[in-house]
Structure 1
Amino acid sequence: MSYRPRSMSTQEFYDRAPTSYLMVKFLTAAAIGASLLFLAGLTITGTVIALILATPVLVLFSPILVPARILTFLAATRFLFSGGCGVIVITLLSWVYGYVTGKHPPGAD
């Protein structure tokens, strides 16, 4: 059994044809997609060029940048730790105050 396409009348052809609204919608989506693809290509090209240009500078300044980054990380860690300790102290003092004043905070039983 071989496949034989069914003949289509002119009216059926026009009923199945896309409307102008669908054609405009498709062309708009295709144009936006092509523009975004072009911009993605420009972005990756610019990133690679910037990395190529910045690598010698980063290698040259790495003896300064690595210790500076470590010190920055340690300072931020100490700041967050001290802030966390402050929150814990305020929470504990609030619990003790509630316990002393007879409000029965959670865990007082």
Structure 2
Amino acid sequence: MADRDRSYRFDQVVRGDRTNYQSGPSTAQVLTVLTLLPIGGTLLALAGLTLTGTVIGLCVATPLFVIFSPVLLPAAIAVFMAVAGFLSSGAFGLTGLSSLSYVFNRFRQATGT
């Protein structure tokens, strides 16, 4: 009976005078990952769709403006729309990658690596 008067948990680590329990990720960390993964994926998908739409629109609109319009205003509008499309695509991509990086760092902190 002397060997059974203390019960130890398998995940208990004793260091000096203090006891540290190793555990998995907290509920807040799990909810953070479950929330940010779809957001990051959606933003990356929006970045890809925006970039694709901008390139297709630019490929279609540029020859039409060159052939049918001697006025520079439509060309300026096309350039403005192309720049706006590339900037918004970059913003969506950067936001998606930064949120996925945040999730990855939180996951690494949760696992202790």
**TM-score, with length taken from structure 2:** 0.44
Q: Larger Cα Rg: Structure 1 or Structure 2?
A: 1
- In terms of fraction of residues, the more helix-rich structure is 1
**TM-score, with length taken from structure 1:** 0.45
- In terms of fraction of residues, the more strand-rich structure is 2
